Structure 1
């Protein structure tokens, strides 16, 4: 198979790389603003709402570049807003929901996120959070964990169990009954535990789907696909930094890269990076083209959780003492990799999920 990106994805990746290169070292808000001004946040937004009307292939290309070069908070914000917010809202939202949210996402003025995890249940297929019907709306009760960017998001997509199955609800993180507790992450990217205590939402807060659970299943697929695209960029960025270090650093009058043992370890990281990119591209391509992607998403997510942390550990080892300095750029990659691995549930969880459809239970 030929997974060479089409012109749209290649252009999106090149533009993202250019913007991130020009804004390196700037504050997170400045980088986010630059992404918006460049039109990168508008890629999946419909044309009638000020966007480009493109799909997941272009989003995946941008996420890979965010993993390769963006500050961790910006990378996770992009992941949350584009993969976990815009795509499901555009696909399942009403005209009013789409118009009220997506136009401002395109400019960078508004962020979205999703609360897909629950205590001891990463990407819970059957949410313990409940939605009880009330006159003209619903009451939500439950606990969500590891919600990225929740405090800065305009709306949080909250999966909750109803009498007919799991549905997605648009919840204002500042609404009565919502409590956000910030939780520490390895990279410093903001993440929260979200408690919902009888949170009232209207019927217009529900994302419609042809049958109960469809929107929730699609969200779970977007979460995994976005994670592996972002992870592919993280490992590629760490490898590039490491090979540059090995070529420039000398020992006994020779570049470290010329030592056989060093070259072999760098080759192991290269194999991991290329394999992760292959499985990520396969899964994202199938999802973007409407093909059955669950099996590929499961394999890609397991490879990310199992092999990416090992590759980053090797990169640190190859840097020697430089690799333990948290001010050195490699720390950005390894800490973000830890957060992303945790976000998809870890290697053991992903292995156990390989026999379960990504969108199923």
Structure 2
């Protein structure tokens, strides 16, 4: 018998949020992120080291006996909310969630311990747009080596090890030094994409690719909603703050009725997104109705995040259009997230099948 999920944040989750937000406030300012996106080093590896190793957040999903924290997806969701709020250029979702979930499905204790300690950054070599359950492009396995070209791999440029699915059904751990990683032109410069070329790369089989990839992509889609929630909440909060300060005809712009209506509508959308994202995180943590909760969250999250970022851009007026203002980072992340791990339309279709509600 299933129990009603508790979508409220616990005291421990709020304490975790405060610690992560304080760190990001001190070390991940919007100006710093903009500067980094214009450099040839898009990832903030110093911030990643603090998050992963010092705070132990890379190992939240890893059991304590394997060197992790033994926490759940609820805590991970809180971390991702704050990372989304800061558009932090760190490979947290791709390494601490996606690669970690794939390895948990395989039971590879050694590599899990390395990822949990923050010593190693992992990336699943599956295109960022791949939805849970969808067919993915795989490498060709020949005589113990891997061949092929895999595109759209998020955070591959920061990875130390790649988890590569192959046509023999295996998932292989491949050192990043054994492959050629070529950066692709990415809309979201805080989560860059790359092409991974394997030309006889040696790999160690860690398990079966099918169940590992499905588990990893489902967790990714569910947790992405929390990142989108953090992004949306930042956009709403910053826009309200700006409109209280900005004056036109000698009164705050936020006082105009039409603006109030737009903000009220956005507030409702963000509140609903919080419920959907929390439900997905709780379902991933408990294992109850997980597929449905993840599909609901992703069917709703992308349009809200894009709308929030677009409204922030428009309601900031001329300053919002400048490169110096960080709102463009949020719009690009929202747009990129809207096709990451399956589009809203793909998740609506999946949800229709799950609840047996087919289109006429």
Pairwise TM-score range, normalised by the shorter structure: 0.7 to 0.9
Q: Using the alignment, how far apart are the partners of 2:335 and 2:167 within structure 1?
A: 30
1:170–1:207 CA contact under 8 A, matched in 2:
no
1:117–1:146 CA contact under 8 A, matched in 2:
yes
1:30 aligns with 2:51: no
Alignment counterpart, residue 177 of structure 2, candidates 171, 174, 179: 174
Q: Using the alignment, how far apart are the partners of 1:94 and 1:33 within structure 2?
A: 22
Alignment counterpart, residue 44 of structure 1, candidates 44, 61, 68: 61
Q: Using the alignment, how far apart are the partners of 2:176 and 2:352 within structure 1?
A: 34
Q: Give the structure 2 partner of residue 187 of structure 1.
A: 188
Moved more, 320-329 or 123-132: 123-132
Structure 2: state its 5+ residue gaps: 37-43, 355-360
Q: Using the alignment, how far apart are the partners of 2:271 and 2:353 within structure 1?
A: 25
Question: Residues 153-178 of structure 1: CA distance to partner in whole angstroms, max 9, x if unpaired?
Answer: 1112223343xxx5432222221xx3
- Describe the SS at the equivalent of 1:187: coil
- Describe the SS at the equivalent of 2:222: helix
Q: Using the alignment, how far apart are the partners of 1:122 and 1:289 within structure 2?
A: 22
Alignment counterpart, residue 10 of structure 1, candidates 5, 10, 14: 14
Moved more, 89-98 or 301-310: 89-98
Matches within 5 A, 1:242-321: 242-321=239-318
- TM-score, with normalisation over the residues of structure 1? 0.84
Q: Give the structure 2 partner of residue 20 of structure 1.
A: 24
Q: Using the alignment, how far apart are the partners of 2:352 and 2:195 within structure 1?
A: 29
Q: Using the alignment, how far apart are the partners of 1:350 and 1:292 within structure 2?
A: 15
2:225–2:277 CA contact under 8 A, matched in 1:
yes
- Describe the SS at the equivalent of 1:343: coil
2:270–2:304 CA contact under 8 A, matched in 1:
no
Q: Using the alignment, how far apart are the partners of 2:164 and 2:266 within structure 1?
A: 37
Matches within 5 A, 1:1-361: 2-25=6-29, 28-36=44-52, 37-71=54-88, 73-74=89-90, 77-99=91-113, 101-102=114-115, 105-106=116-117, 108-117=118-127, 125-130=134-139, 132=141, 134=143, 138-162=144-168, 166-175=169-178, 178-189=179-190, 190-202=192-204, 205-207=205-207, 213-355=210-352
1:127–1:161 CA contact under 8 A, matched in 2:
no
Q: Using the alignment, how far apart are the partners of 1:302 and 1:167 within structure 2?
A: 31
Displacement of 1:50 = 4.2
What is the root-mean-square deviation in Å for CA atoms of aligned residues?
2.5
> When the two structures are aligned, how many residues end up with a matched partner?
336
Question: Residues 81-127 of structure 1: CA distance to partner in whole angstroms, max 9, x if unpaired?
Answer: 1111223324532333334x23xx42x33211212228x86556233
1:20–1:70 CA contact under 8 A, matched in 2:
no
Q: Using the alignment, how far apart are the partners of 1:45 and 1:310 within structure 2?
A: 35
Structure 1: state its 5+ residue gaps: none
Displacement of 1:279 = 0.9
- TM-score, with normalisation over the residues of structure 2? 0.84
- Describe the SS at the equivalent of 1:226: helix
After superposition, the Cα gap between the structure-2 partners of 1:112 and 1:121, relative to the gap in structure 1 and judged at 3 Å, is closer
Moved more, 59-68 or 148-157: 148-157
After superposition, the Cα gap between the structure-2 partners of 1:197 and 1:351, relative to the gap in structure 1 and judged at 3 Å, is farther
After superposition, the Cα gap between the structure-2 partners of 1:280 and 1:296, relative to the gap in structure 1 and judged at 3 Å, is same
